[in-house]
Structure 1
Amino acid sequence: MRFVLAILAFAAAAVMIGFGIAQRTVFLEPDRISLGTVVEDQADYIVLEPEALAAQSGKQTITVSGSETVFLAYGRTDDVEAWIGDDSYVSVGYDADAGEFTNEVVAGQSAEGETPETTEPEATPAPDAEGAEETAEPAASPAGSDLWLDELTGDRTLTTTIDVPEGISVLLASDGTEPAPGRIVVAWPLDNSTPWAGPLIAGGGLVFLVGIALVISGVLAHRRSRGPRRNLPKGPKGKLTRAPRPTRSQRAAASGAGPRRTSGRARRVALLPVLLVPAIALSACSSDYWPDFAATPETSAPATPAATDQPADDTAAEGEAEVVPAVTVPQMERIMRSVAVFTTEVDESRDVQRLTERFAGPAFQARKANYVIRGSVTDHPALPAIPAAPLTLTLPQQATGWPRTVLTIAKNSDDETVAPTALVMRQESPRENYKVVYATALVPDADVPEVAPASIGAPPISPEFKGLVMPTGQVAAAYADVLLKGPESEFAEFFDPEGDVVLQQLGVEGQKATAESLPDTADIAFSNVVGDSPTVALATNDSGALVTVSINQTEKVTPNDGGTVGFEPGPGRALSGFDDKSAKGVQRVVGIQLMFYVPAVGADEQIRLLGWSESLIGASEVP
């Protein structure tokens, strides 16, 4: 009976293991689904629309080919369309009914205004004597734009996997001289797990072991019951006769190696299934082989963006543009990495022309002057580097168009003794990158108020807004007056003097110390004017505002005894290029960048200084 049960166990084990392996081989479903298209139209740009990327759920693996250089970038759909602007492009969408991609040429504004010619086509002009033919102007390259969440470039073929939520588009292009690559395949993962393969293989292994145990127990039982023993012959008077003692050769034959070798082989054969079955069972340890009893199944699909308090599109006023933050956090992190690398390179080369690519306004003036000074004064320090990360605050402007502004605070991860840097960056148009307009260092123990998350952004505050203790458009002029007059200024009561290092160094006390350091034959006069750059004000959660302004402080030194004065060797002389003495006097201009917190009306607070920087931006003979 044991042998019959063993045979049944072996058969059941073979069926279970075979069916379990078949589920992972011949019966295994595909692990992905893909859709492809070939764009026949010659276009500089191709856009994969959000509905094409979301044709199936899960991560999108995109493979693009069709040109020598393949460029791929993805960003918010509005940003992609804004960058393309009036240029024509091919839109790749998705037809849910047909289950396939669609191609549509979207004509740019210039193309829409053209009237097609109906005359006979002219013959192709022959090349000139030198063989040179007139070529079309290259298309603008989208590489390096701050609008992208990420970008990649490859040769001939490019494959990448992304996981983007709704509202994201993919832009495809070449190097500007060739059409965009038109062979596109998008693949999404499919759940081809076989949750019963593991239990079947493991269960089959256990049943197989049961069969082995039945065979062994059957063999042992059979040996114990091989039949009745023969009666030994009895001697005289009923005593048993002693069997003759075996000879040495007989004992050697009885204990020969033949039977032992047979027993050893039997043991090795019995151990083989014991080692083989666990190996088969271990091969089914992947999570795809076993059922998932978790309450919520895992998915690779992107999370749905968190809802905001903004009204839905259908409730917005007709013609009103959707309000979105100027940048996302990943986008800002990418921008900061680019700005940090750029700043390091341009600070080393002191290339003023290249500096305009990433700097403007007071930040540009400060670095431009520093480059000139360092060209003559070799030991003059460079301005502080801009750290790339970590970003402790990202506050984008709620934008409906351009220009766009974002405020960010970056902490120096290499040296904690260096104060965090607050940057105000501005993007004038979709095809321009963000430029640093203000760069200030936070004051010690700066108490930055809470602001909206980057996914919402902050509305800009009008310079005439009356809901603050002082309109933001008046902050720079009022503080400039406080620097000149100190407590005597009519605006002194609006500003908190505690911890204000600018008042200490560039205010009345600092100006007095500078005047005392001059010889008696010279006089000094100070004047402050508001900088040319616009005031940037973004709302905080407590109805206040973060306000960034600039002030230019002029120090005019004139002789009072009919003599002459001039610059001492150093930054002033290097920046002005004036190394003579002047009877009219000399002057220096110090650029001051300031970031304030301006509380709301009714708050029991004063305007508080959060960050500042000062640098020499001008020097000359008094005109």
Structure 2
Amino acid sequence: MRFVFAILAFAAAAVLVGFGIAQRTVFLEPDSVSLGTVVENQASYTVLTPEVLAAQPGKQTITVSGGGPVYLSYGRTGDVAAWIGDDLYTAVGYDAETGELTSEVVVANPVDDTTPTAPQTEEPAVSDEPATDEEAEPDPAASPAGSDLWLDEFTGDRTLTTTIDVPEGISVLIASDGTQPAPGRIVLAWPLENATPWAGPLMAGGGLFFLVGVGLLISGILAHRRSRGPRRNLPKGPKGKLMRAPRAPRSERSALSGSGRAKRMALLPVVLVPAIALSACSSDYWPDLSSAPETTAPATPVQTAPAGEEPAPTAEPEAPQVVPAVSVPQMERIMRRVAVFTTEVDQAADAQRLAERFTGPAFEARKANYAIRKSLPDQASLPAIPAAPLTLTLPQQASGWPRTVLTIAKNSEDETIAPTALVMRQESPRENYKVLYATALVPNADVPEVAPASIGAPPINPEFKGLVMPTGQVAPAYADVLLKGDESEFAQFFDPEGDVIRQELGVEGQQATADALPETADIAFSNAVGDSPTVALATNDSGALVTVSINQTEKVTPNDGGTIGFEAGQPGAALSGFDEKSAKGVQRIIGIQLMFYVPAVGSDEQIRLLGWSESLVGASEVK
């Protein structure tokens, strides 16, 4: 009977293991679903709309193929549309009814074909001259590569495959070089849940039945040997004793026992193979009892009207959607690019290329430094811009352009260097962010709390009355404080504690400069607000972070009817190129970049200096 049960156990084991293996082979569902299309047009750009990316849940694996270079980037849908502008492009959508991708050529300014046109009497002139090299060169502005608008970008040759995981409101831009037609073969794939949670239990159960069958088989064999029935009558020897077979020698008995052990050892692989196979199973083979059930609750609670009341009608939004200018990952990519770029141009002292990433006071400061270093190689360059870590990212809430973002970066290699506060500005969608202000934080700078980067901060109007001083008046008021010190009518608004610049360029510093001049020369100081725009972003306590610039002019004139000039080997002479003596005198212009915290009306705080930088930006003979 034990042999019967063993056979049944082996049969059950074969069935269970077979079903378990079948779940991972013949019955296994596909691990992804894909949609593809071939775009047949001559548009330079192809856009995958958010509906396409959300056609199936999960990460999106995109494969693009074409006859040349392949470029792919993704960003917010509004940013993608703004970058394309009026150019022709192909929009790839998704038809939920048919489950297929669709494509449509989009023209920003379509031509009205119904408008009658005058007949053309003359054929347009056709030039037989070949196109020049300039006409054949692609327009760099037409290539989306390297734009600060993208959250990420990828390139390939003929074929490109990448996997992204983007939320709603994101579109994908596909191009070649911006002038050639965009690659036309597009395939999107999404992962499918094809776990087989019963494969593991089935194979484990089959292994258990197998072990039971082996046990029953061994037990049946042993029981059969013990119950083989009575032995045959052995012949009797002398005196009626039974005759016994001669006992085998010890060496032969050892050999026989070794053979038995070998048979038992041969059963071990049969027992171990299922155990090893089961131990190699992944989590897809077993039920997941630890994960919580997925919820279908919305991310934002839905507000409902109280019982018995009808919900108020929702007005159609008239204003354009306001979003933060950048995200944190986007800003980190921009800062890496700016840091690498700054290092390269600083080493080469390339003022022409500097304009690609710098503007306003930050540009003027570095441009002047390059000019000085060409004449004085030992002159120190301006502080480098660190790429990371970013301790603060405050983008402007924007619906269009220009866009502004304030960020503070620490120097990860040297903690003794003060963190750098940068104000960056993007004038248009196809322009990259440029550094407008670059200041070093004062020691122990108390930066107020600001909104997270995912929300951003609204810009503050220069005439806004909700602050202790309108932001448009901060620069001229502080310029007056530097010139007059405590005698200024605006001195009461500014906190003097920790304000190092008032000691260096204020009344005290100006007096020290005047004392260092010979008695035959006089010096006059004047301050003027810089031409750069005032940037003001709101803080959480209804205050504002305000960045401005001031130019301080030092005019030195002779008072004895003689002449005066710049001291040889000094930055003023190197920047001006004026190495003679002048009866009119000479002048220097110091560019000052400042970042303040301006409290809200009703606060007992004063305007606090958070960061500053100063550098020589001009030198010349007095006109």
TM-score (norm 2): 0.92
**3-state SS of 2:617 partner:** strand
What fraction of aligned residue pairs are identical, expressed as a percent? Answer: 73
* Cα displacement (A) at 1:136: 10
Contact 2:143/2:179 (8 A) holds in 1: no
Letter in structure 2 aligned against 1:584? K
Please state if 1:251 is matched with 2:254.
Answer: no
CA offsets per residue over residues 481-515 of structure 1, 9 Å max, x none?
00011111000000000000111111111111111
- CA contact 2:62–2:187 (8 Å) conserved in 1: yes
- Report how far residue 620 of structure 1 moved: 0.8
- The amino acid that maps onto 1:275 is L
Distance 1:65 1:124 in 2: 37
Q: Which residue in 2 is equivalent to 1:433?
A: 432
Residue in structure 2 matched with residue 450 of structure 1 by the alignment = 449
Query: How far did 1:593 drift?
Result: 0.2
**Structure 2: any 5+ residue segments left out of the alignment?**
304-312
1:278 aligns to 2:275 (yes or no): yes
Q: Any conservation in 1 of the 2:51–2:94 contact (CA below 8 Å)?
A: yes
Match of 1:146 in 2: 148
C-alpha distance in structure 2 between counterparts of 1:341 and 1:113, whole Å = 50
1:324 is aligned with what amino acid?
V
**Aligned with 1:109: secondary structure?**
coil
**Count of aligned pairs:** 611
1:240 is matched with: 241
SS at match of 2:264: helix
Per-residue Cα deviation, 1:72-104 (whole angstroms, up to 9, x for no partner): 110000000011111111111111011111111
The amino acid of 1:420's aligned partner reads P
Look up the match of 1:224: 226
Partners of 1:330 and 1:321 in 2: CA distance: 24
The Cα of 1:223 is off from its aligned counterpart by 2.1
Deviates more, 1:172-181 or 1:363-372: 172-181
- AA aligned to 1:289 is Y
Whether contact under 8 Å (2:235, 2:243) holds in the other structure is no
| 1:176 corresponds to | 178
Structure 2 counterparts to residues 49-88 of structure 1, below 5 A = 49-88=49-88
- Structure 1: runs of 5+ lacking an equivalent: none
- Residues 132 and 365 of structure 1: CA distance in aligned 2, closer, same or farther (over 3 Å): closer
Once the two structures are TM-superposed, the CA of residue 261 in structure 1 deviates from its matched residue by 6.6
| Counterpart check, 1:291 vs 2:287 | yes
Matches within 5 A, 1:300-319: 315=314, 319=318
Q: Distance in 2 between matches of 1:79 and 1:513?
A: 52
Name the SS of the counterpart of 2:142 in structure 1. coil
Question: Could you say which residue in structure 1 is the equivalent of 2:29?
Answer: 29
Worse-matched range after superposition: 510-519 or 595-604: 510-519
For residue 17 of structure 1, what is the aligned residue in structure 2?
Answer: 17
Distance 1:213 1:487 in 2: 100
User: Cα offset for 1:357?
Assistant: 0.7
- Once the two structures are superposed, residues 91-128 of structure 1 have per-residue CA deviations (whole angstroms, 9 ceiling, x without a partner) of 11111011111111111226569969898999999883
Contact 2:57/2:190 (8 A) holds in 1: yes
* CA-to-aligned-CA distance 1:114-163 (integer Å, 9 cap, x gap): 96989899999988376989879758111111110011111101100000
Say whether the 8 Å CA contact 2:594–2:612 is kept in structure 1. Answer: yes
Find the aligned partners of 1:178 and 1:447 in 2 and give their Cα distance.
52
**Residue aligning to 1:269:** 266
- Give the aligned residue type for 2:453: A
Match of 1:482 in 2: 481
- Deviations 1:558-617 (CA, angstroms, capped at 9, x unpaired): 122222221112211100001111121111110000000000000010000000000000
C-alpha contact (below 8 Å) 2:45/2:178 kept by paired residues: no
Show CA shifts across 1:326-346 (max 9, x none).
111111111111111111111
1:222 is aligned with what amino acid?
H
Of stretches 580-589 and 154-163 in structure 1, the one that deviates more from structure 2 is 580-589
1:506-530 Cα offsets, whole Å, 9 max, x none, are 1111111111122222221111000
- Look up the SS of the partner of 2:208 in the other structure: helix
Tell me the amino acid that sits aligned with residue 484 of structure 1.
L
Determine the structure 1 residue equivalent to 2:347. Answer: 348
- 1:415 equivalent to 2:411? Answer no
With over 3 angstroms needed to count, the CA separation of the structure-2 counterparts of 1:108 and 1:235, relative to structure 1, is: closer
Question: Match for 2:159: what amino acid?
Answer: T
Partner Cα separation in structure 1 for residue 237 and residue 588 of structure 2: 140
- When residues 266 and 118 of structure 1 are mapped into structure 2, their CA distance, relative to the original with a 3 A threshold, is farther
Distance 2:113 2:551 in 1: 49
Deviations 1:233-268 (A, max 9, x none): 6667x763675866xxx63895485x4575354224
Question: 2: CA distance between counterparts of 1:271 and 1:235?
Answer: 46
Question: Which residue pairs with 1:619 in the alignment?
Answer: 619
Tell me the TM-score normalized by structure 1: 0.92
* Cα distance change, pair 306–483 in 1 and its aligned pair in 2 (3 A): farther
Q: C-alpha distance in 2, partners of 1:118/1:590? A: 63
SS at match of 1:470: coil
Counterpart in 1 of 2:307? none
Are 2:44 and 1:44 equivalent residues in the alignment? yes
Query: Contact 1:441–1:612 (CA<8 Å) still a contact in 2?
Result: yes
Equivalent runs, 1:473-512 vs 2, <5 Å: 473-512=472-511
Q: Which residue does the alignment assign to 1:192? A: 194
Q: Which residue of 2 aligns with 1:573?
A: 573
- Aligned alpha-carbon RMSD (Å): 2.9
1: CA distance, partners of 2:299 / 2:170: 12
- Report if the CA contact (8 A) 2:425-2:434 is conserved: yes
The 3 A distance-change label for structure 1 pair 41 and 317 is: same
CA contact (8 A) 1:308 1:456 kept: no
Q: Would you say the 8 A contact 1:86–1:110 is kept in 2? A: no
Structure 2 CA distance, aligned partners of 1:340 and 1:577?
31
What residue in structure 1 maps to residue 306 of structure 2? none
1:459 is matched with 458
Deviation at 1:307, TM superposition (A): 8.4
Structure 1 260/191 Cα, relative in aligned 2: closer, same or farther at 3 Å?
A: same
Which residue of structure 2 lines up, in the alignment, with residue 544 of structure 1? 543
Aligned counterparts of 2:564 and 2:538: Cα–Cα separation in 1: 48
Q: Distance in 2 between matches of 1:356 and 1:80?
A: 25
Structure 1 residues 375 and 254: CA distance shift in structure 2, 3 A: closer
